[in-house]
Amino acid sequence: MAHDDPRTMVSTDWLAAHIKDPDLRILDATWFMPDDGRDARAEYRACHIPGARFFDIDEISDHRSDLPHMVPPVEKFMSRLRAMGVGDGHQVVVYDALGLFSAARVWWLFRLMGQPDIAVLDGGLPKWVAEGREVEDLPPMVRDRHMTVRRQNQMVRDVTQVAAASKLGDHEILDARSPGRFTGREDEPRPGLRKGHVPGSRNVHYRDLLNADGTMKSPEDLRAMFDAAGVDLGKPAITTCGSGVTAAIINLALERIGKTDHSLYDGSWAEWGAFPTVPVATGDT
């Protein structure tokens, strides 16, 4: 990676050097696809970076919605984080057990809630473990900490806003799903969804933004990936994916190259693919 930035991404070396800082808080935000057959919380209990709290993406969400892990109400976010001992004045580092998969979603969620002092651990738990660094299976000591939330509504988009952007062409809509799902050649993992993509969107598969070891590519390489995908970085960007998790990897990558006018379509394909009145495109365009 190019450099450590406590508001976007930090290295394992940075975390090791700061792990005992009194105002550092570490979050394990591991989340697995429903058909992976893995239990993220159980894996956290068995092995996590010292002091890490478990951030449950499915639980800290809006349970009033039929869609998976939608943005929680502000009050719920505040209360859950306070109970985890995370609040104002803390530098947060978030990681996951797949290298870089679900951690970016929590980074984006903190930013949405007006909490900018959060960074993703580059390479996540796999890199930390591969380097022989300390792990533990003990629950952390937690003290309540007040959190002030100032929701940044411009960072999230709903189906109506995405439909308008698709029709007008005034945003770049960037889809993080695999090329097979984007073109409609592959079935969706969630039953009952149409196949294809939002008309006018571009496919930027999240894996193309990562190195083989799960770390994020350099800002120079990221910019080249966006160029190769035909992305006009002069337009504001809206990211999307299957259910709003890997889309945030694109948001993180955009932030790493200095682009700040980006948002995330929270409902993503779980909503668009089930919505009967919005159009679906297939193929490469």
Q: Rounded to an integer, what distance in angstroms lies between the CA atom of residue 235 and that of residue 16?
A: 38
CB 33 within 8 A of CB 41: no
Q: Rounded to an integer, what distance in angstroms lies between the CA atom of residue 194 and that of residue 228?
A: 27
Q: Rounded to an integer, what distance in angstroms lies between the CA atom of residue 212 and that of residue 215?
A: 7
Active site residue 241: yes
Residue type, 271: E
Instruction: Please report where in the chains the tokens 């010292």 appear, as a residue.
Output: 50
At 270, give phi and psi (nearest 5°): -60, -30
**Alpha-carbon distances of 206 from 34, 130, 169, 209, 274, rounded to whole Å:** 19, 23, 22, 5, 22
Tokens of 270: 């779980």
162, 237, 241, 249: which is the annotated catalytic residue? 241
Neighbours of 160 (CB within 10 A): 9
Query: What's the gap between Cα 77 and its chain centre?
Result: 16
Tokens of 37: 């057959």
Measure the CA dihedral 155/161/165/171, to 10°: -10
Residue numbers annotated as active site: 241
